[in-house]
Structure 1
Amino acid sequence: MQTPSERVPALLDGPAVDVTDPRELLTGYLDWYRDALRRKISGLSDEQLQTPVQPFGWSPLGLVKHLGWVERRWLRWGFTAEDIAGYPPGGDAAEWDVSGQTTRAVLAGYLDEVQRSRAIIAAADLTDQARVGGRFPTADQAPALGRILFHLLQEYARHLGHLDIARELIDGKTGE
């Protein structure tokens, strides 16, 4: 017979239930979603990772590449106004296209953007306003870091839901 704790699933994902600090909650959930992305693609072959899923038209690896661009766009080009491209040449289609790229290269590019994002986040307060330039041409358009992190959380949550559906179509595996 199962004990009550064995029958009850975890009530919350992400940071521990006793975490109340807003910064720790935001960064903890963001890291939880980043890890969930890797869990959700785990076990897929290179072919499964790179083949577009119908009816979506994008591949799981294409979604990983897109989320790398999202990190870059919102933190490096956005928050710090780094003088870099916010979008790849070729626009949205190129952002999701992984043809001719290896799984290893796409994952390495994504993880590099995540590491850069973590460094930016660690060096700033949630109330720090994004620099003007890059994504935000004027100060009144430039949000605080906390607002940007909330946006990143919704990007990850939405796209990981999409990935759950794609994964179920690929091999029947369902997410948490």
Structure 2
Amino acid sequence: MKPARDLADTIELHLQYLDRYRGIIETKLTGMSDSDLRSSRLPSGWTPLALLKHLIFMERRWLRWGFVAEPVDHPWGDSADDPDGPWTLGPDDTLPGLLAELHTGGEFTRSVVAGVDPATVASAGGRFGTDDRPTLNWILFHVLQEYARHAGHLDVARELADGATGE
């Protein structure tokens, strides 16, 4: 990460922290067995691989479908198209494939927000109507807190799976 004096630009600050958390997520998941990636040790039933898929769709919903208002097929594809449903996995969901999607999503985010005024309001027509559009700064802060929160969840899941701890 750049020294703090170089991060007065809040958009760049958000982007660098998002990149950092994508790396943490990848590190937490890499080395887990396929069985541990696809099984849960928690009463809620979520799995580490399903959490990764959720992060991909979450960022897509907020940036691609939300900020840019781009049409998105199955924006709730992480939960079988049910916004309130549990996270799901398909038979073709793999760690390498989902990690590639995670990083592709990060590249998209950077390409559409780098250098944009943080007070810019999301476009209407995708996720948002005309009256409920948040600013880019709000969206990036929300996405960042989702990553941080779920990185903590993965800390616990990884420790329960094989004892690995730390970032």
Q: RCO (CA 8 Å, sep 6+): is it higher in 1 or 2?
A: 2
- Which residue of 41, 48, 67 maps to 1:60? 48
Greater mean alpha carbon deviation, residues 110-119 or residues 73-82: 110-119
Matches within 5 A, 1:69-84: 69-84=57-72
Task: Give the secondary-structure state (helix, strand or coil) at the position aligned to 1:142.
Answer: coil
**Unaligned stretches of 5+ residues in structure 2:** none
- Which residue of 70, 76, 87 maps to 2:76? 87
The normalised TM-score by structure 2 is: 0.85
CA RMSD of aligned residues (A): 2.1
Partner of 2:161: 170
1:160, distance to aligned residue in structure 2 (A):
0.9
Matched residues in 1 for 2:113 and 2:86: separation?
24
Matches within 5 A, 1:132-151: 132-138=124-130, 140-151=131-142
- Which string of whole-angstrom CA distances, capped at 9 and with x for unpartnered residues, describes residues 115-168 of structure 1? 222211226332221100111111x31111111100011111111111111111
- Which residue of 99, 115, 122 maps to 2:114? 122
Q: Give the greater-gyration-radius structure (CA).
A: 1
Question: Does the 8 A contact of 1:26 with 1:149 survive in 2?
Answer: yes
Question: Does the 8 A contact of 2:11 with 2:116 survive in 1?
Answer: no
1:46, distance to aligned residue in structure 2 (A):
2.0
Task: Give the secondary-structure state (helix, strand or coil) at the position aligned to 1:159.
Answer: helix
1:72, distance to aligned residue in structure 2 (A):
0.3
* Residues 115 and 53 (structure 1), Cα distance of their counterparts in 2 relative to 1, 3 Å cut: farther
Matched residues in 1 for 2:148 and 2:127: separation?
22
**Unaligned stretches of 5+ residues in structure 1:** 1-13
Provide the identity percentage. Answer: 44
1:111, distance to aligned residue in structure 2 (A):
2.5
- Which residue type is aligned with residue 75 of structure 1? L
1:105, distance to aligned residue in structure 2 (A):
2.5
Task: Give the secondary-structure state (helix, strand or coil) at the position aligned to 2:119.
Answer: coil
Matched residues in 1 for 2:64 and 2:115: separation?
13
How many residue pairs match? The answer is 162
After TM superposition, the runs of 4+ consecutive aligned structure 1 residues lying more than 6 A away are: none
